[in-house]
A and B are shown apart, each in its own frame.
Chain A
Amino acid sequence: MPDLELVDVSRLQFAVTAMYHFLFVPLTLGLSWVLVIMESVYVMTGREIYRDMTRFWGLLFGINFVMGVTTGITLEFQFGTNWAYYSHYVGDVFGVPLAVEGLMAFILESTFVGLFFFGWDRLSRIQHLMVTSLVALGSNLSALWILIANGWMQNPVGAEFNFETMRMELSSFSAMFFNPVAQAKFVHTVAAGYVTACMFVLGISSYYLLRARDVGFALRSFAVASGFGLASALSVIVLGDESGYTTGETQKVKLAAIEAEWETQPAPASFTLFGFPNDKEQRTDHAIRIPWLLGLIATRSMTGEVPGIRELERDHLQRIERGIVAFGQLQKLRSGDKSQETRESFERSKADLGFGLLLKKYTAAVVDATPAQKQAAAADTIPKVAPLFWSFRLMVGLGMLLLFIFAASFFFLAIRNLASQRWLLRLALWSIPLPWLASELGWVVAEYGRQPWTISGVLPTVLSVSSIPVSHVYSSLGAFIVFYTALLLIEMYLMVKYIRLGPGSLGTGRYFGESARGLTAATGATPRPPRSADEGTR
């Protein structure tokens, strides 16, 4: 039987390393396009302040980018080190988008990112803009393939179990690629990345405006961020709704848990705006409900029902019974009885094999499971409601707040009355961390809400781990936390330092604090004379 402590520590390690990684990814996704926008203006107008903007925000992009690379390698290798049975069981399917990500996306962005920094003197303006665009394209394509892989974990379409090889095998690549969950997640995630980057640029520009330094530079950056940010924040919310809709179709448990929908309500179901979900007694205390709203969001109809937790649990108990049959037939097939009858019986029941595997947590001989064990396995199929309920609401609330900030910024900029709105500038500055918080909460909803599965309905988490001593995982987890935290502190130190220095750190001689001797000493950069717009851009 699986070692549950090993499972928990392995999960914790994956969660920690993935959440660290996602501190850096959203900024890369979004800032790369911000750079493309700024550089496009430079190429079109030839005004060098836009090149300086591209270079300064690019400098901050670089400080962040390398951390994304550092923490990203871990994730690709962790499937093998800590989730070896998972790797065997679904590698035929899940490995494909991961490999394509490397071949199509990651190497594209990594090859061109160096030329972005070192190519200013070696490329024509158009060529350099193309390089910047390829970096943005590469990082966003990378997100596409990763989210196709992740979407498949949530909604495993286009694959079949093969009893001969004892694993899932790809049956339709296009089904996996056009998986509605993956597509909705992709657009939602990259748009969240754009919001993150825009909030970053907006907040830092506000800091310069509050201090009345580098005003022209800051205003232009602020304008790009508020425009792009407003569009992105709207997309995140609209596409988040799309994500909710596909969740309603394909991941009913997750939806019921997010909404603390214990019992199936008559259609259209009401939406619980607020309340205290009580997992023990399966009810929500002090609930404030909005009639009809959940039914409308989740089914987009007046008649569709949203199944509640108790109903889903009852369904799952039946699927567990069928899963036991499938498991029994699989054992026969594996031990050499490949008669037509056994095959057919297995084919009929194999859609529920995963539910049979849930019993492995309680008994090695799945076919002899007691009613109590089946009940326990059915109860396992419902993740804890309270963390999902709260994470989701906090995420949505943050999304609304960010939308307000972008809308207000855009409005006051448009009526040319920004400078006197010091409250808004302060709010923007202090809101810089919020998109990160919202993104991490989004991942909690998506991945914690997938439990007890690694592949929904197919492979339970407890079976997915590597058979390694738990002490191995404790030591690696400790090392990751220490190492990543140290690197994060260094990164934040450099970020803050260069944000304080501002565009003056480029050494063009045109910005705040440049005459000060301190800059050269601080960065080791050799001072250079001011350049004209066309110099060095042959």
Chain B
Amino acid sequence: MIFDYETLKLIWWAFVGLVLIAFALTDGWDLGIGMLSPFLGKSDDERRVILRCIEPNWEGNQTWFIIAGGIVFAAWPLVYAASFSGLYFALLLILFALFFRPVGFKYRNKLANPAWRRAWDRGLFVGGFVPPLIFGIAFGNLLLGVPFHFDGDLRVFYTGSFWSLLNPFALLAGIVSVSMLAMHGAAYLQLRLDGVLQARAAKTAGIAGMVVLVAMAVAGIWIATSIEGYRITAMPDPNAMANPLAKTVVKAPGAWLDNYARYPWMLCAPIAVFAGTLGVYVMSRARRPVSTLIASGLAVAGVILTAGFSMFPFVMPSSSDPGSSLTVWDSVSSHRTLQLMFWVSVFLLPLIALYTSWVYYKLRGTINLETIRRDY
């Protein structure tokens, strides 16, 4: 074994973060475009052009979500078990909303009937809007902690309800997530479209960027002043076998800022959010699509990293039994499995990046009605 267990646990925290960022950066614009298309596209032709920007690529992008599920299952089985069963209806809402996308993209243009197309446009809106909203709400609740505990056999019991997830802070996190992906989707559209649609996309990106900026600032102040974070007060050696019941955890206001005092470099994440959103505002007004998209990507990655850095080493804190909280140290798979999956990922992730880039390269170019006429 080249890496000790502790190092691998850290690497896997980074990998899960990386895959989530890859998901948000690529499928993020698909989701954003899905929710924006009914508003930016005033006619069937316009909506068709907008959706055509992502139609050949969205499927591969969405697979990052499946991969995230798979690696969390393999690397953090307790997190997979506790979060998916605890947040049962939230997960199912995401799932049912996502159902609209494969069929929506594929079936929409198979018939010319306007009612048929409008119905799929609504489905694609739901498929683009609901998942980011629920993702945001779920992350908001993770920051607050969710009520669950384990028994001696490590069976997980969740004691909250779906409605308790819909608290003010979590809804704010939902706004961050929705506006962030709307911004990212609009930034991508600005790159791929021309004419009046491009202008509409640019305007939308700037507005959405400002919403992200304000919502993140409010969330930050809220966390710094009144939200209780979690802090480990005693835990076994990080190289020990995973046991989520062996540590002691306290809740304390402002504890989610501990890491920024200890590791000031982590401040780069929130700074990236502010720089990125401001960049989107400025660059979209200046009609610089490539710069807008880069700034938007910076902001998206910054939002996810900010959540991850604030909570580290926690992944899923328990509000009802803080000792049951899941962290990167004690919710993980065995040393051997982490090692194996490390090599698999190190080999495959760059390969995926490589062929995905080739596919994007081959499908590059401005999308307009002429493109659709040329399509088979």
Contact = CB atoms under 8 A, between A and B. Distances in A.
- Do these two chains interact? yes
A85 B85 CA distance: 10
Interface in A461-505: 466-468, 472, 476, 479, 483, 487, 490-491, 494, 498
Contacts of A69: 59, 102
User: Which of B59, B91, B96, B98 counts the most chain A CB atoms within 10 A?
Assistant: B59
B280 to A, nearest CB: 27
B252 interface: no
A383 B70 CA distance: 31
Nearest to B105: A66
B366 interface: no
Interface stretch (A113-121, A232-240, A372-380): A113-121
Interface in A102-154: 102-104, 106-108, 110-115, 117-123
A123 B358 CA distance: 11
B152 interface: yes
A526 B369 CA distance: 11
B107 interface: yes
B112 A521 contact: yes
Contact of A66 (B78, B103, B356): B103
Contacts of A472: 88-89
A77 B55 CA distance: 24
Interface stretch (B164-172, B264-272, B331-339): B331-339
Interface stretch (B2-10, B60-68, B179-187, B224-232): B60-68
A79 B57 CA distance: 28
Interface string A148-188: 00000000000000101111011101000000000000000
Contacts of B112: 521-524
Given A102-B67, A472-B89, A85 B155 contact: yes
Contact of A113 (B59, B64, B89): B59
A76 B82 contact: no
Contacts of B220: none
B14 interface: no
Given A66-B105, A80-B81, A84-B82, A483 B88 contact: no
Q: Among the interface residues A87, A166, A479, which one has the most CB atoms of the partner chain B within 10 A?
A: A87
Contacts of B77: 87-88, 91-92, 95, 167
A494 to B, nearest CB: 6
A468 B160 CA distance: 11
A95 B88 CA distance: 20
B376 to A, nearest CB: 5
Nearest to A80: B84
Main secondary structure of the interface of A (DSSP, over half): helix
A114 B55 contact: yes
A166 B241 CA distance: 11
Contacts of A87: 73, 77, 80-81, 84
Contacts of A70: 98-99, 102-103
Contacts of A104: 344, 348
Nearest to A64: B106
B74 interface: yes
Interface in B17-63: 55-60, 62-63
Contact of A99 (B62, B84, B341): B341
Contact of B109 (A96, A170, A524): A524
Contact of A73 (B74, B98, B242, B340): B98
Interface string B81-101: 111110011011001101100
B98 to A, nearest CB: 6
Interface string B185-203: 0000000000000000000
B218 interface: no
A107 B60 contact: yes
Contacts of A334: 152
A241 B107 CA distance: 40
B345 interface: yes
Contacts of A85: 81, 155-156
Contacts of B98: 70, 73
A63 interface: yes
A167 B243 CA distance: 11
21 contacts: A79-B73, A80-B69, A81-B84, A81-B85, A84-B85, A87-B77, A88-B155, A88-B156, A92-B74, A96-B341, A99-B73, A99-B344, A106-B63, A107-B64, A107-B66, A108-B355, A119-B56, A169-B334, A170-B340, A479-B92, A494-B111
Interface of A: 55, 62-63, 65-67, 69-70, 73-74, 76-77, 79-82, 84-85, 87-88, 91-96, 98-104, 106-108, 110-115, 117-123, 162, 164-167, 169-171, 173, 334, 466-468, 472, 476, 479, 483, 487, 490-491, 494, 498, 506, 521-524, 526
Given A94-B73, A107-B64, A107-B352, 19 more contacts: A73-B95, A77-B95, A80-B81, A87-B84, A88-B156, A92-B74, A96-B74, A96-B337, A100-B70, A118-B55, A118-B363, A162-B334, A166-B153, A467-B158, A468-B158, A476-B88, A483-B99, A491-B103, A523-B109
- 5 nearest interchain CB pairs? A91-B77, A80-B84, A114-B56, A95-B74, A111-B60
